[in-house]
Amino acid sequence: MARDLIDRTALLRHRARAKAAPVTVLHEIAATEISERLTDINRSFTSIAIVTGEPSVWKRYWPDAKIVQDSETLSLNHGAHDLIIHGLALHWANDSVGQIIQCRRALKPDGLFLSAQFGGRSLHELRSALAEAEIALCGGLSPRVLPMAELRDLGQLLIRAGLALPVADSNVLHLSYGSFPELLQDLRQMGETNALADRRRTFTRRHLFAKAAAFYQANFTDAEHRLNATVEMIFLTGWAPDPSQQKPLRRGSAMARLADALGTTEFDLGDAAGYPTNSKKTSPSDES
């Protein structure tokens, strides 16, 4: 049996600690973005569930929604909801596709799944700074920043989970901090600190963070000498299959050429790559 990537006990402990002075701005951004996307869909949703580790924010946006803890087994009933939102927690799942499958099963036919989560470009500056410091001082690396999935991989999860009309896109946010300790403090107050199962369990020496801070300051600052921190927020959209949904046309069944629609010249691959070719611009009368 494969070892879990995430230590759920540590994650819940970090979240509980963060409740003393929570920083929820990224949850606010994610909830606002999802709310705006829903306004573009010409449909009313009457049975909503939200999977999240930060219910206080998401409940304000959808007060009548069922709030579900993002545990490994979700408390969702089969076919009970027409909208399920996974609210900025999927990156902490040991089985991301399993989470989405559970959500798909809990959707009514033609129900909507929407997710926001952190993507692979998030905190790349912090990852680099900690790695450089640990290699210099310890001669090796230990897991310190959660590995997060890339946009392409997450889009494939929707297909694997059996959702129709899958869409994956991302927004990149650029945060600014006055100092390295301020960045670490924000992560603690978001409940987003290291909960990896294979993390180092011994106390981290203070001078490792000092060296990481120096590397960060030397490589990732703006014109005002403030620290840059990148956050990539990936949004996933998919629908529970239903016969009423649009279907792609059979391959080769198009009645018009893309070149005509775009008003451009059509070349074959050899000509486009700069190789000798006998291709020419074609017109509909040239095609059989």
Q: What are phi and psi of 259, to 5 degrees?
A: -60, -40
Which residue has tokens 């129900």?
111
Q: Is residue 20 part of a domain?
A: yes
**Do the domain assignments include residue 245?**
no
According to the model, what pLDDT value does residue 141 have? 62
Alpha-carbon distance 35 to 217, whole Å? 36
Are 257 and 197 part of one and the same domain?
A: no
Same domain for 181 and 280?
no
68 closest CA partner among 82, 96, 44, 89: 89
Has residue 1 been placed in a domain?
no
Q: What is the pLDDT of residues 119-144, one digit of tens each?
A: 999 999 999 999 999 888 877 666 77
Structural domain boundaries enclosing 276: 250-288
Q: Are residues 29 and 127 in the same domain?
A: yes
CA dist 60 → 25, 35, 55, 81, 259 (Å): 14, 11, 9, 19, 48
One domain, residues 206 and 274: no
Residues 273 and 223 in one domain: no
Condensed to tens digits (0 to 9), the pLDDT of residues 235-266 reads 999 999 988 877 766 666 667 776 676 777 66
- Is 2 part of a structural domain of the chain? no
| Residue range 195-216: mean pLDDT, rounded | 83
- Distances from the Cα of 228 to the Cαs of 6, 126, 212, in angstroms? 27, 9, 14
Q: Are 65 and 88 within one domain?
A: yes
- Flag whether pLDDT at 5 surpasses 50: yes
CA distances to 4, 66, 166 from 74, rounded to whole Å, are 17, 12, 22
Least confident of 35-44, 113-122, 164-173, 277-286: 277-286
Q: Are residues 227 and 287 located together in one domain of the fold?
A: no
Over the stretch 103-112, which tens digit does the pLDDT of each residue have? Answer: 999 999 999 9
Residue-wise pLDDT for 26-35, tens only, equals 999 999 999 9
Residue 275's pLDDT is what? 44
Regarding whether 14 and 87 lie in a shared domain, the answer is yes
Question: Which pLDDT score is estimated for 2?
Answer: 64
Cα–Cα distance for residue pair 279/135, rounded to 1 Å: 56
- Asked if 176 and 266 sit in the same domain, the reply is no
Asked if the structure places residue 68 within a domain, the reply is yes
Res 51 pLDDT > 90: yes
Answer yes or no: is pLDDT of 1 > 60: no
Looking at the structure, do residues 226 and 257 belong to the same domain, yes or no? no
- With pLDDT > 70 as the criterion, what percentage of the chain qualifies? 84
User: In this structure, is residue 191 part of a structural domain?
Assistant: yes
Which range has the worst mean pLDDT, 35-44, 148-157, 237-246, 261-270? Answer: 261-270
Q: Indicate the average pLDDT of the chain.
A: 87
Are 177 and 261 contained in the same domain?
no
Number of domains present in the structure of the chain:
2
3 occurs within a structural domain: no
CA-closest candidate to residue 124, choices 151, 154, 142, 147: 147
Strand order in the sheet with 66-69: 66-69, 48-52, 81-87, 107-118, 227-239, 164-177
72: amino acid identity, one letter: E
Pairing status of strand 66-69 against strand 81-87:
unpaired
Residue 173: inside a domain: yes
Rounded Cα–Cα distance for residues 220 and 226 (Å): 8
C-alpha dist (Å) from residue 161 to 94, 130, 155, 207, 270:
15, 35, 10, 45, 38
- Say if residue 228 is in the same domain as residue 141: yes
CATH number of the domain within which 47 lies: 3.40.50.150
